[in-house]
Structure 1
Amino acid sequence: MDILILGIYAFFVWLIFIKLKWLPWNITSQVIVVIIPIVGMAILILSLNVFAPSSSDVRVYKYTVPIVSQVKGRVIEVPVEEGNRLVKKGEVLFRVDPTPYQLDVNVLEAQLANAIGGQREQEESLKGARGKVAEARGAMQQANSNVSAATANFELARKRVQQYRELVRTGAGSKFDLEKAETDLRAQQGALDAARSQQAQARGGETQAMSSEQQVVQRLGAKSNGEYAQVAQIRAQLENAKWQLAETTTRSPCDCYVVNLQLRPGGFVAGLPINPVMTLVEAQGQIVALFGQNELHQVEPGNEAEFAINTLPGKVIKGTVDSIIWAQGAGQLTPSGQIPVSGPVAPPPGRFAVKFNIAERDRELFLAAGATGDAAIYTAHGHHIHILRKVLIRVSAWMDYLVLKLH
C-alpha cells in the first residue's frame, strides 16, 4: 500500500514538474518533493496505528472437554470417530455394558414394592391401634364419670350419717334411720371403690393402646418428603441406580470434534475423574489478538474488526471487539515471603489480549484450534484512513497462498 501511494505521488510529481512544467524543478522544489512524502507517510502510519491498530499475533482458541465415564464397566460400543466429523450435542459417544446396573434397578424395584406393601400393612395396623386408643379413651371417660358420680353419692351418704348421728345424740332421731344411713354409706363406699377399680383398668387399657400405637409408629419410622423413611430410602437408592443405568450411555455435551480417541469396544472404563477416555474440541472457536499497550486507548467494545487466518488463505473474516482483557501475568504478584525482584534490566512491556465476536456470516467457517494470522480493529475515529488498513489486511490474506519453502 505504501509503495502504491508513493507511486501515485511520483506520477503527479513527474506530471507537474517534468511533463507539464507547471512548476520549476530546482533545489527548493526537489527538497519539498522529498520531504512531503516522508512527513506524510510518517503521519499516515502513526495515525493508522492509533485509529486502526493491527496485530500479527492472532490466535484461535477452542475449549476442550475431557470425557470421563460416570460408571465403570466393559465398553460395548464406540460409534464416534476421531477426525473432522462433527459430533452433535446429545449424540452417543460410547456405551458401557448396562447388565449389572439393570439388575440393580430390578432388585431395588422389588424391594420398593415390598416396602410399600409392608408400609400399607403397618398403616392399617396403625389405624387399628388408633381405633383402640380412641376406644380406651372413651372407656376412660366413662370410668371417670362413674367415679365422679360414685364420689358424689358417697359424700351425700356420709353427710346423712353425720346428720342422723346428731339427731340420735339429741334424741330427735331414730336409731333405725341411723343404721340404714350407715348401711347406705357402706354401699356407696363399695360403689366408689368399684368405680375407681374400673377407672384404673380403663387407664391401663388406654396406656396399653397408646403403647401399641407407638410401636406401630416406630416401625413405620419418620417421614421424608411425604413418605416413610424406609420407603424413601429405597426409592432414593432406586433413583440412583436408574441414574447409573442411564450413565452407561455417554453422550456429547456440545457440538464438538473428537480427538485423542483411545477407547475401543472391549475396553474397560473405571469411572474415575482422572481417567479421560477421549477429548472433545468445541466447534466454535474464540479469536484473540495481542496488541501493544499503547495501541488500545481508542479501542472500544463493538468496534469493527477483520481477521486473516493462515489456514484460510484469501479469506477475510468479519467480526467485532468483544472485550479487552486488561490483565496479564506481569501485573500479578504471587503470595510469598520474598520481596518482588524486578531484575537488573526492565522487561519489555507486556501486551494485552483483545477478544472478538465473529460475524454471523462467518460463524460456519471452520477455525482450526491454534491457527494464527493477522487482525485489524477499526475504531470510531479516522474513518478516512481505515481503507488503507483494509487493503493491508486483504493483501495479508492473499499472501497466505504463498508457501515459501525450498524443499
Structure 2
Amino acid sequence: MDLLLILTYAALCVAIFKIFHIPLNKWTVPTAVLGGILIIGALIFTMNYNHPYSEVARYYFVSVPVIPVVSGQVIEVPVKGNELIQKGDILFRIDPTPFTYRVKSIKAQLIAAKGDRARITELIKRSFGTQRELEATIARTDDLQAQLDHAQYELDNTIVRAPSKGFVAQVSLRPGMMATKLPLRPSMIFIPDEGQYFAAWMRQNSLLRLVVGDEAEVAFDAIPGKVFKGKVASVLSVIGEGQVQPSGTLTSYTGSPPPGRVPVVIEINDPDFTQYRDFVPGGAYGQAAVYSQHFHHIGMMRKILLRMAAWMNYIFPFH
C-alpha cells in the first residue's frame, strides 16, 4: 500500500509540475519530497491505528481424540476417513473375547453367592445361622453385582462409537493393532460437525480500536482474489504467553520477548462465503482487517490493501 501511495503521489507531483510549469530547483523538489513523506506517513499511521490489520490469521476447529475405555486388539474398522457419520455410528471394534469371559466368570460367582445367601437366610429361620454370616453373604453378593456391572460396561465399550455427528480424519487404525486407553495415544481423531471459527492475531496496540460488532473483512490464501465480509465476534481477554500453572518453579523472564498477539474471533457473515466453504480446509491461513468507526473514510485504503493482498495469492512458486 505504501508503494501505491508513493507512486500515486509521484504521479500527481509530475502532473502538477508539468501543468503549472513549476521549475525544478532546490526549493520545489525538496518541498515536494518532504510533503510526500509527511502526507503518506500521516495516512499510513492513521490507517494502521484506526483500522487494524493482521497477516496472521487461521481457520480453527475442534478435534476430539478417540480413546477407548478398554484396551485390546482391534478386529474391525468400518469407518472411512473424511466420511460424514452420525452420532452412535461404529468407529471400530475391539476383540470382546476376554471381556466376555470376565462377564461369564462373575455371573457364575454371583449365582453361587445368591445361592449361599438363600441358604443362610433359611438357616437363620431355623436358628442354625447367624446374622453376621448373612451380612457377609449380602456384601459378597453386592460386590459381585458391582463387578458384573463394571465388566458388562467394559464389554459394551469394546464397540467404540462416534460421540457426535462429524467425521474421522486420516484413518490409520487397522485390524490387528492394539488400541489402548492411554490418553497420550488416541486411536483416531474425530472432527465434530459443529462449524469452525476464524481468529486473527492482532497486535496488542490494536486493542485500542477493537470493539465487538465492528465491521471486518477476511481474505483466505486458499481463495485468491476474494474478500469476505464479517464482524468482530469477540476479543479474547487472555493470551497464552501469560498463563501460569502450579509448579515448583518461580515465574521468570527467559529469552526474547514473546510476540504476544491477541486473538480476535471474526464471524464471517458474507453470503458468498457459503459457495467457497468447501475450498477452505480447517486450519487454513488467511488475513483480516477490522474497520473501526474512527476515520471511516481512511478505511478505504485498508480495503484496497487487503484486496491487493488477496490478488497476490494468485502468485505462488511452482516446483
Q: Is the 8 A contact 1:303 1:377 kept in 2?
A: yes
Match for residue 222 of structure 2?
311
RMSD: 4.2
Instruction: Judging by fraction of residues, say which structure has more helix.
Output: 1
Change (3 A) 1:120 1:290: same
Q: How many angstroms apart in 1 are the aligned matches of 2:66 and 2:11?
A: 64
Trace 1:162-177 onto structure 2 (pairs within 5 A): none
Change (3 A) 1:321 1:31: farther
Structure 1 residue 246 displacement after superposition: 1.5
Match for residue 322 of structure 1?
234
- Provide, for residues 67-125 of structure 1, a one-character-per-residue CA deviation record: whole Å limited to 9, x for no partner: 3332233322101233x434544332111122432343345445545555654565566
- Provide, for residues 153-175 of structure 1, a one-character-per-residue CA deviation record: whole Å limited to 9, x for no partner: xxxxxxxxxxxxxxxxxxxxxxx
Q: How many angstroms apart in 1 are the aligned matches of 2:86 and 2:55?
A: 33
Query: SS where residue 163 of structure 2 aligns?
Result: coil
Paired residue type of 2:210: V
Structure 1 residue 50 displacement after superposition: 1.1
Q: How many angstroms apart in 2 are the aligned matches of 1:72 and 1:349?
A: 41
Q: TM-score, normalised by structure 1?
A: 0.60
Of residues 265, 269, 277, the one that matches 1:356 is 265
Query: SS where residue 300 of structure 1 aligns?
Result: coil
Match for residue 200 of structure 2?
289
- Provide, for residues 315-362 of structure 1, a one-character-per-residue CA deviation record: whole Å limited to 9, x for no partner: 43435242245445489799658x96778xxx4673323141433565
Matched, 1:265 2:179: no
Match for residue 136 of structure 1?
none
Match for residue 39 of structure 2?
40
Q: How many angstroms apart in 2 are the aligned matches of 1:304 and 1:122?
A: 79
Change (3 A) 1:323 1:89: farther
Query: SS where residue 39 of structure 1 aligns?
Result: helix
Change (3 A) 1:86 1:58: same
Match for residue 232 of structure 1?
142
Query: SS where residue 388 of structure 1 aligns?
Result: helix
Structure 1 residue 15 displacement after superposition: 8.1
Of residues 267, 277, 295, the one that matches 1:382 is 295
Percent identity at matched positions?
A: 32
- Say which one has the larger Rg: 1
Paired residue type of 1:40: I
Structure 1 residue 12 displacement after superposition: 7.4
Q: Is the 8 A contact 2:239 2:260 kept in 1?
A: no
Match for residue 394 of structure 1?
307
Query: SS where residue 242 of structure 1 aligns?
Result: helix
Structure 1 residue 4 displacement after superposition: 6.3
Where do 5+ consecutive residues of structure 2 fail to align?
none
Judge which range, 92-101 or 261-270, deviates more.
261-270
Judge which range, 273-282 or 359-368, deviates more.
359-368
Query: SS where residue 312 of structure 1 aligns?
Result: coil
Paired residue type of 1:49: N
Q: Is the 8 A contact 2:204 2:261 kept in 1?
A: yes
Q: Is the 8 A contact 1:304 1:321 kept in 2?
A: no
Judge which range, 238-247 or 309-318, deviates more.
309-318
Query: SS where residue 68 of structure 2 aligns?
Result: coil
Q: How many angstroms apart in 2 are the aligned matches of 1:340 and 1:95?
A: 48
Q: How many angstroms apart in 1 are the aligned matches of 2:90 and 2:243?
A: 44
Q: Is the 8 A contact 1:327 1:352 kept in 2?
A: yes
Q: How many angstroms apart in 1 are the aligned matches of 2:293 and 2:233?
A: 12
Structure 1 residue 237 displacement after superposition: 1.3
